[in-house]
Amino acid sequence: MGTGRAGSRRAAILAPALLALVISGCSAAPSTPAPSSSPSVSVSPLAPPPAPPPAPVIDVPTVDASLANQRPAAAAPTRIRIPSLNIDMTVEPAGLDAVGSMALAANPDIASWYRFGPAPGAEGATVIAAHVDSLRYGLGPFARLADAPAGTEIMVSSDDGVEHRYALESVQSTGKPEVPWAAVFDRTGSPRLTLVTCGGEFNYTTRQYQSNIVVTAIPVA
Amino acid sequence: MRKLLSTGIAAGALIALVGVTPVTAAEGDAKLSVFHGVPGLTVDVYVNGALTLDNFEPGALAGPLELAPGTYSVAITAADAADASSPAIGPVDLALASGMNYTAVAHLAAAGAPTATLFTNDTSTLAAGEGRLTVRHVAAAPAVDVLAGGTPVITNLVNPAESLLTLPTATISASVAATGTTTPVIGPADVNVAEGVNTIVYAWGSLADNNLALGLQTITGLHSTPGSIPAGEAGLAATNQPVAPAALWLGGSSLVLLLGVVIAATLRARRTATSKGN
């Protein structure tokens, strides 16, 4: 009921606006020559002049729905460099593990890009993560992110040959239960780069870090 | 989920110019897209008597329009008709509910007559890593099977029914065949079932006129996010380390190295002993 009333109210407000649209649309439309031989027109001198074809009241986006118009796969990132931190790593596409966590390359020297999310340059957050360390491989380059200052230059190369340049905006250490994953993996908003690793205190019983380090970087020209 | 529109119903057809505008999109609006699946017929689409889609071509997808919940009268006329008074299809009344997502499809019935069907699009959230594939039979053709990589995944789909699948993200080689057969009448063609997206495929056109085709609509933003990023296991970067981590690590790897040397030496000794035996 409430929505019905709201609809009527809106309709009442809209009607004049739409009418104005229609009128301006009609006057702007090119007049097409009318068939002059129409007998009903010639018989009655009082007949109004034939109206031009109507113009649409609004502009609705229309696309060709053929399969040829499918969006091509985005260019995947292949390399990340942060010269001031002596970081130069291969980036591989990654999905999910068996329990729905992001599945990272086992080697902390290899960074993983969340392949279901935005590619570099696309709208939203491009998420690249790496293990901070490993029992097998030792300490990884992303361990150096925790102390990186704002403005740190970050370069991400994609497999289309484009190099995307970013400036570090913030480094946040958040306790694992509180990490806002929906925001970390946000696919909307302006293009940005989000780097994730582990950090903070380590629980030597469960062998897990208690926090995630989340770095946000914004594109620079 | 599907509502076949009775094209005979013209109740209260031409009401007034109401609400056909995305400018006033508001919370609770319904979304309405329009797919044109009648071959060889360019049309105009009138909503509540107002021209909304001009020169709408076959195979095209328009929208979504964001409309306040309510019932809308849609009439489809030949292109450049003076008004909606003599529609080729309809007028039909579309009841749109708050927050729902619809596609109105102008298409051929199985026997070939032009008609219209309102489909409700499934916008429920998908698990991370998954995509949804919706297939809609809106072609002048008998029942069909849909094959992925040559294997039937949807069987006995009839006009104007739909079938939905939830799949791990993949590009599938899709084809359409008469039900019970595998010889394609459409395709094979690659369809990208993207993550977090409802990929809607329309099989449209006419088998008799040899112009069957696939049309595509995608509804994005249905994704979930990973629940965590476990990114460490050794405590080497911990802020609460009991001993200097470098020393621990070096000690550990030295031990491994030493063990390796011992094993290698033992193996070599054994090999030497064996070859001597020969």
| ipTM of model | 0.73
Mean pLDDT of B112-135: 96
pLDDT tier, A9 (very low <50, low <70, confident <90, very high otherwise): very low
By Cβ distance, the residue of A4, A60, A135 closest to B53 is A60
Residues of chain A in contact with residue B231, where contact means CB-CB under 8 angstroms, are: 104, 129-132, 142, 196-198, 209, 212
Residues of chain A in contact with residue B19, where contact means CB-CB under 8 angstroms, are: 7, 10-11, 14
Considering only A163-177, B218-232, B240-254, B258-272, which range has the smallest mean pLDDT?
B258-272
Element (H, E) at A7: helix A2-28
Q: Is B79 on the interface with A (CB under 8 A)?
A: no
Residue B15 has pLDDT above 90, yes or no: no
Q: What digits encode the pLDDT tens for the residues B223-249?
A: 999 999 999 999 999 999 876 555 555
| Beta carbons of B231 and A6 less than 8 Å apart | no
Average of per-residue pLDDT values in chain A: 83
pLDDT at A59: 87
Q: Could you say which residues from 87 to 146 on chain B have a Cβ atom under 8 Å away from some Cβ of chain A? A: 98, 127-129
Average of per-residue pLDDT values in chain B: 84
Of residues B99 and A52, more confidently modeled: B99
Mean pLDDT of A141-160: 97
CA distance B58 to chain A (A): 9
- Kindly state the DSSP code that residue A219 receives in the 8-state scheme: E
Q: What digits encode the pLDDT tens for the residues B179-227?
A: 999 999 999 999 999 999 999 999 999 999 999 999 999 999 999 999 9
Of residues B76 and B272, more confidently modeled: B76
pLDDT at A55: 83
What is the reported pTM? 0.76
Residue A168 has pLDDT above 70, yes or no: yes
How many CA atoms lie less than 13 Å away from A95 in the CB half-sphere?
A: 12
| Beta carbons of A133 and B237 less than 8 Å apart | yes
Between CA A202 and CA A199 the distance in angstroms is 8
| Beta carbons of A102 and B226 less than 8 Å apart | yes
| Beta carbons of A133 and B56 less than 8 Å apart | no
Nearest residue in chain B measured CA to CA from A95? B129
CA distance A61 to chain B (A): 6
| Beta carbons of B226 and A185 less than 8 Å apart | yes
Mean pLDDT of B258-271: 53
So where are chain A's domains? 77-219
pLDDT at A49: 62
Q: What digits encode the pLDDT tens for the residues B71-95?
A: 999 999 999 888 999 999 989 999 9
Q: What digits encode the pLDDT tens for the residues A82-138?
A: 999 999 999 999 999 999 999 999 999 999 999 999 999 999 999 999 999 999 999
Superfamily of domain A77-219: Sortase (2.40.260.10)
pLDDT at B110: 97
Mean pLDDT of A145-158: 97
β-bridge partners, A197 = A213
pLDDT at B80: 82
Residues of chain B in contact with residue A138, where contact means CB-CB under 8 angstroms, are: 234, 236, 249, 253
CA distance B181 to chain A (A): 23
Of residues B257 and A193, more confidently modeled: A193
| Beta carbons of B98 and A202 less than 8 Å apart | no
pLDDT tier, A62 (very low <50, low <70, confident <90, very high otherwise): very high
| Beta carbons of A96 and B226 less than 8 Å apart | yes
Residue B10 has pLDDT above 50, yes or no: no
Mean pLDDT of B37-46: 95
Helix (H, G, I), strand (E, B) or coil at A28: helix
Considering only A33-37, A207-211, B80-84, B142-146, which range has the smallest mean pLDDT?
A33-37
Between CA B161 and CA B18 the distance in angstroms is 31
- Give DSSP secondary structure letters for chain B: -EEE--TT--TT----S-S--GGG--TT-EEEEEEEE-TT--EEEEETTEEEEEEEPTTEEEEEEEE-SEEEEEEEEETT-SSSSS-SEEEEEEEE-TT-EEEEEEEE-TTS-EEEEEEE---PPPPTTEEEEEEEEEEES--EEEEETTEEEEEEE-TT-EEEEEEESEEEEEEEEETT--SEEEEEEEEEE-TT-EEEEEEEEETTTT--EEEEEEE-------S-----SS-TT-TT-SS-HHHHHHHHHHHHHHHHHHHHHHHHHHHHHHHHH-
What does the buried/exposed string (b/e) look like for A11-40 if buried means 16 or more CB atoms within 10 Å of the residue's CB? beebeeebeebbeebeeeeeeeeeeeeeee
Considering only A152-161, A189-198, B264-273, which range has the smallest mean pLDDT?
B264-273
What are B8's two structure tokens? Answer: 């005979």
Mutate to test the interface with A, among B29, B43, B125, B233 (most CBs of A within 10 A): B233
